[in-house]
Structure 1
């Protein structure tokens, strides 16, 4: 750059210039000084003609030094820029120093944000000879500030409109920020929570100590059990109501100041929706079960009428024999045989009713020991008449010594019944005389699962729909012959047991469905000897006790009394809940057990239970309820609430003995 001649005429006077008097008057030094500052520096004479320009200005103007010196401000930067300085030049030439900051238009070079210091200079103490201008260009800084402000505004907008509650807390656990979603979730306005401890606001009392300890541990050691994890827990609202939330905490420390952002989502609606979905699913399960039961109802009625005819006929003959024959000539063996026929027929009725009720009732899954051969036999008993009346042959093939599964017996029963009903409907479509359903059960290779297959020799399932048969509401049956959810429900029930339900290949024509259930954690072999049944007649006497029987059916009371006395219990009885309350007041010692019917006039089972709960809670563990109405909503709700054991009618002496054994913790009774 050519050296401006004006530099040779500059003189320093006073101030810091006296520290280097020789250097301050040296043009080389002055050039180096002005070129080193990160600002644009120029010297203009009274006519706004450039007398000096440093490297920063030349770079900005895109000019060389020899093309700037001696040219006017308008020639170098444009007339518009020169006009913007015209008023300032008047003030400067009058001796006023000017400082200003703001946006300035530099024509083709764009708008720039600048800080300017404009100083008039004199030569030898005379009038103002020109202006020294120092310009600091802050455009990039301002752009960054604007971007930062925009980012902060954007982030603030995101936080303020976020659906999740966001709470920022400091290292002392006090609230620093709190967005509108958090206000809606917890019920506190923002002004009320800022500066308050988060523990006092939303953390339940039993978790506050753990929260404080976790905060202290993280600030001391950097170790945390919850940072970066998604947790589900309870939180408190302003109205003291507890709500389920999902929580994720992030360390957002800024400028060395510990800060933690907690993102929280209220799970109340989600939990309610999940519960509603579960209720709807249960309703679909129940609808499918009732649809299957409807198709079986005629057969069940027939299956009940057959053994009931045996009970009625044999009991009538037995009474006539005892009334008409000479007691001395009675054949005890023949009488015992007739009694055995009555007992067997009654047991058959009981099994059919219990199987039907178990399939129809609504309750949560309950895992218990399941004997597969017995389960399949119950299925055949339930559907047998319908199949036989349609000319369908049922074959069973069960491998010996199958393990006993731990599973929900009613659910597995429902699945197999559904598959058999489907097979029956397929065979009805086929028609003809050779129609068969085969039930098979065996351990799979490796012995880690039991496989149950239900197959038929019907028309089979077309290849085009094999991949869709487990879809909910997909059905090939005519309207009114199914809901289309049976197979989907059946697969779901099997999968809750850790098993699978698939469509097998089988033998063509026909269809085969395979149920595979894992044997993990399963008990004894079916092939092991069963415990010996109690001998008829009087059982070995256990420790004596007293049983209170409460039932409005006189014959049931007499039956229970006879059974209990055969088991060496003393019996007191009454026919209503109110009468039982009076009897308890008259007894010198409380009964060892109470057997109470649920439905009775003048004080039913729930009424009596409520009185015991208020007056003798120690007796609640000794009560067992009888019911012949396990499908009734009131009975099922009461049993679920009380969690008391129950015994379904009809029952046997062995059932009574087992019930007392389980409840009283005695050695084997019966």
Structure 2
């Protein structure tokens, strides 16, 4: 065959001419023109972009230069309450921007289009958006600009941050509660420590005043007796203030019992006339059926008196004071002093006044001890702090309603108590008072005294000695145990301070009673936190006394515990 008769592959009518640049590989498919390939790739790219936008968890909203919506993804539909077909073509300002913010939005758009100033572009900012029902909510927004065939497109990425804001607010509130609790605990510990030291000083001061007043009866010096009486009254006021400090710090436990608050408050109201001027009108609003509470009646009176004095001072002695008592149920409210949520059934004691109200800047501090808006010397700042201590001691809470110029109402909530039987104590007459006149000397016996505070130890030696008792003193519990162990039957009475270095009074009593179980022991203290009657009796201690000592009551206690042959 001749070579000219052969058809070369390059000349075949069914095969395209090879391109030298691709080593014989066809540049274009013979079945798909080049434009169709580009369109297919573009379509696939658009489909991927559309799927990404529709699957996004954040709202993606696009607007043109006229502010009209050109993109509105499913997340935006769910967040704002519009269907996509409802949103497209509408202006963004009318759709999701609150009316008060639309002018600023329009100004920002205009400024960017005129000057290119990118104030918000490329940044994450927080703003307020609006749903289809008109409700507003916080969003995080980021805006970018894209150039399109029809001009610039503004793409907004929005995220509803309502839950984030709520979480932040909850965290801030919990941190505030923690700080408040820590602050009140620290102040309480400091207050209790200060009160303990003052009690020691007052024990000797008031004790010596009592002993001095006894001696004036023999000399008949009326003027000296008057001076001593005045000094003793001042000491009693100091003692009462210390008692309030200890109550705030939860160092003094009450003796709760089942109470009907109505009769107790009715009785206490009679005492209000002594602390309230006639220019203050008293109104009472007591509900008919009120559950019982478990409280110490003396603490109830203390709460009432402190609240009424506070209201009197707020009104500057002129106005209307309202007392109300009713059952309530805790719900969506928070205690004003401990900042904890309040839940459960309570009995509310409310004291309202017609004074100027409580300023917002001091509302969070009114329960702090020694905080007062009064002039120096016109208030100790302990009234509401004591109320805080007592109320929370019994598991209660405090709410405050106030507004500038509209007075204030302090609402104390005590937990309601529903006993198996309906019986509850009526009005109490309070503890028996002791005769202020000390009994004459006439005691015999040997007393072991343990007291670490030198001034109190000296006073107790003088006091017991003035009654005819021989006193052996020790500076701490360890020394007292050593002296007792050396002669267990040589002591007729043991008097132990509770708070001492190296060994507490309770620990010392336990050691002493191992040597002689029937030894009469008196424990005395001014800081009785965690000391219950069960714990004291369980330790074998016969009796307890509180600092500063009530001398006649302490004398009666000593007489009771000494063997009968040693008193006359």
The TM-score bracket by the shorter chain reads 0.3 to 0.5
How does the TM-score come out when normalised to structure 2? 0.39
Larger radius of gyration: 1
